[in-house]
Amino acid sequence: MSDSVGRDLTFYERYKVWLHSLICDACVRYLDQIRLLHIETGRFAPGEPSARLTEDAKARIREKFRDH
């Protein structure tokens, strides 16, 4: 089902998804949620993060990794 959002489906695949959606409300809701996630995550531009860790915070994280 989630493939129908992430890639182009063949005619037969689209037909199967459509046919299944006629009888399965749960999958329709699931697809709506996946589509919304796809749209919302597309709003974030790849690249540099908007916030940076301080050197002190980085050192504390490194220490935690060393401890475990």
Ordered by start, the domain boundaries in the chain are 1-47
The answer to whether residues 31 and 21 touch, using CB atoms and an 8 Å cutoff, is yes
pLDDT tens digit at each of 68 positions of the chain:
556 666 788 999 999 989 999 999 999 999 899 888 888 887 776 766 667 889 999 999 999 998 87
- Asked if 60 and 54 count as a contact pair (C-beta separation under 8 A), the reply is no
**Nearest by Cα to 27 from 53, 51, 3, 54:** 3
Angle between helix axes 11-23 and 25-41 (nearest 10 degrees) is: 120
